[in-house]
């Protein structure tokens, strides 16, 4: 009996950091100019549901979520005359804005990566109060628009989703 409990405990410890069994499927966005992978089981959120989940000031163009609506990915495009050369500066600005919005957050990472030939800025953090959640915000510039994506998951159990969020970011392709 003691050995069985040890084996169960060891199994739980070894598998707790693995990513969930999630199949990614490709979607196209913004007039088929952007393709990106998201979990195939995610569903497009209705406008009514998005209004309940997102603040009106930050309502995305579209969002997808799991069945429980606690893990979601939102997409937005804004005409701001942004250029790819400005992505490093925007990354720093986004981080400062988010630090003001979430002063109790734990900052995980931020920076700029080249993904499929495009500079992509990202900010990653865990908010602790009042709501506990993990977020990865990533963005790039395309034809004067700022294309952004926000991956959101509850803090509890976020580690496997973190790996998936980074896979999603790495999958973004923008047509030339």
Q: pLDDT by residue (tens digit) across 131-153?
A: 799 999 999 988 888 999 999 99
pLDDT of residue 116: 94
pLDDT of residue 13: 38
> What's the topology of domain 19-174?
Protein Transport Mog1p; Chain A (3.40.1000)
Q: Which residue has the higher pLDDT, 36 or 128?
A: 36
Output the CA–CA distances (angstroms, integers) from residue 141 to 85, 91, 117, 121, 134, in the order listed.
9, 12, 12, 10, 24
DSSP class of 56 = G
pLDDT of residue 20: 57
pLDDT at 122 over 50: yes
Spans of all domains in the chain? 19-174
pLDDT at 167 over 60: yes
* End-to-end Cα, the chain, rounded Å: 62
């Amino acid at each position: 009996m003691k050995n069985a409990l040890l084996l169960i405990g060891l199994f739980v410890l070894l598998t707790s950091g693995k990513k969930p069994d999630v199949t990614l499927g490709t979607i196209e966005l913004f007039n088929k100019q952007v393709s990106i992978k998201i979990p195939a089981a995610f569903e497009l959120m209705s406008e009514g549901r998005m209004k309940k989940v997102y603040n009106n000031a930050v309502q995305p163009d579209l969002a997808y979520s799991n069945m429980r609506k606690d893990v979601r990915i939102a997409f937005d495009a804004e005409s701001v005359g942004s250029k790819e050369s400005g992505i490093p500066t925007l990354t720093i600005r986004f981080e400062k804005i988010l630090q003001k919005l979430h002063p109790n957050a734990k900052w995980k990472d931020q920076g700029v990566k080249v993904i499929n030939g495009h500079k992509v800025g990202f900010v990653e953090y865990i908010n602790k109060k009042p709501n506990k959640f993990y977020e990865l915000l990533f963005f790039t510039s395309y034809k004067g628009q700022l294309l952004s994506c926000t991956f959101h998951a509850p803090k509890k159990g976020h580690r496997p989703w973190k790996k998936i969020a980074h896979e999603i970011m790495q999958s973004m392709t923008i047509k030339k």
